[in-house]
A = this chain, B = another copy of it.
Amino acid sequence: MANITDVARAAGVSISTVSYALSGNRPIAAGTRERVERAARELGYRPNAGARMLAGSRTNMFALTAPMHADTHPPALMAFVLAVVTAARSYDYDVVLLTEGEATTGLRRVASSSLVDGIIVLDVTTDDDRIDVIRELGLPATLIGLPADTAGLTCVDLDFAAAARLAVANLTALGHTSIGMMGHAADLYDRGSNYAPRFRDAFLDSGTAEVSTAFHTTVATRSGVEESFAGLLKQLPDMTAMVLNCNENVHGILLEILRERDISVPGDLSIVSACSSFSTDHFLPPLDVIPLPALDSGRRAVELVIQQLAGFPDPHVELIAPTFQRKSSTAAPRPR
């Protein structure tokens, strides 16, 4: 493995010139830079990571803490993880993964050993143990998700309330006035996560004198979905549209039930899938969707850590605006 001395010798310059030429940290004569670059290329030189961390002010490493607990939807978590890694690489950062088992201790460890320059926190819950550690460490960090107290923290998240309003707005624009929402399992609304209640509350608040809304939790089984659907129909006998904020299986089961009962989508019932981490294209019909923006969230989280590293702390909460993707599952309600 060629080191900086080898490159300097090959290029006929000093090692400091090699360092500066490759890092761009000071102006170098064009000819010199070219000779250095060629020598580096020919020798397959890559700066030693450990030496760089030790000598420089940056480690070029982020920690990504990605716990996996009962409520975690693995595909969604995976999407965020990949988004963060990809975004980090675009800034020449590598990502060290920290798991549930070593959540707070892992953060302390990577921070105090100066392994990482910054931290990205995934799947934040309302009262998350990791939050206090993040505050205490004072390292650049961005949370994806909202804890109860965001003071002093930088957070990115989908605007779940706006997503609910957007779903309803699209349906009311088509003429719907009776809209049911099939939600997650009940315990998700009681436990630490807050995205589910944020969506639900904004959905219910969208109800007006003209537009009736109703909400029902859903257990992700056949009977659970049947019960949820029946519960919504009981509250809204004239329901012509549904907003789904629940997992992929529930989507499939619901469409199944509708098919059996000859309720056509979108003829008899319009459906919008909201905050979904999966594609809705394989459903019959493909469902209109407000996607969970994993890619945007990951990219933005990385950008915000990079900004903090550049000396602009500016703690704040950034809510990502939802987008509506029209597929084939919404239409005007049938005239009565």
Interface residues of A (CB under 8 A from B): 1, 44, 46-54, 59, 61, 64, 68, 74-75, 77-79, 81-82, 85-86, 89, 94-102, 106, 109-110, 112-115, 220-222, 248-249, 252-253, 256, 259-260, 282, 284
Contact = CB atoms under 8 A, between A and B. Distances in A.
A59 B68 contact: no
Given A78-B81, A82-B99, A96-B97, 12 more contacts: A46-B109, A49-B59, A49-B113, A51-B54, A81-B81, A86-B99, A89-B102, A95-B96, A97-B97, A221-B284, A222-B284, A256-B256
A101 B90 CA distance: 11
A48 B89 contact: no
Contacts of A86: 99, 101
Contacts of A222: 256, 259, 284
Q: How would you classify the secondary structure of chain A's contact residues: helix, strand, loop or mixed?
A: helix
A150 to B, nearest CB: 27
Closest 7 interchain pairs by CB? A50-B53, A50-B54, A74-B75, A49-B115, A46-B112, A46-B113, A74-B78
B44 A49 contact: no
Given A101-B89, A282-B221, A94 B110 contact: yes
Contacts of A95: 96-97
27 contacts: A44-B112, A46-B112, A48-B113, A49-B59, A49-B110, A49-B113, A50-B51, A50-B59, A50-B114, A50-B115, A51-B54, A52-B113, A61-B96, A68-B82, A74-B78, A74-B79, A77-B78, A78-B78, A85-B97, A85-B98, A89-B101, A89-B106, A94-B96, A222-B256, A248-B249, A249-B249, A252-B252
Contacts of A114: 1, 48-50
A95 B248 CA distance: 30
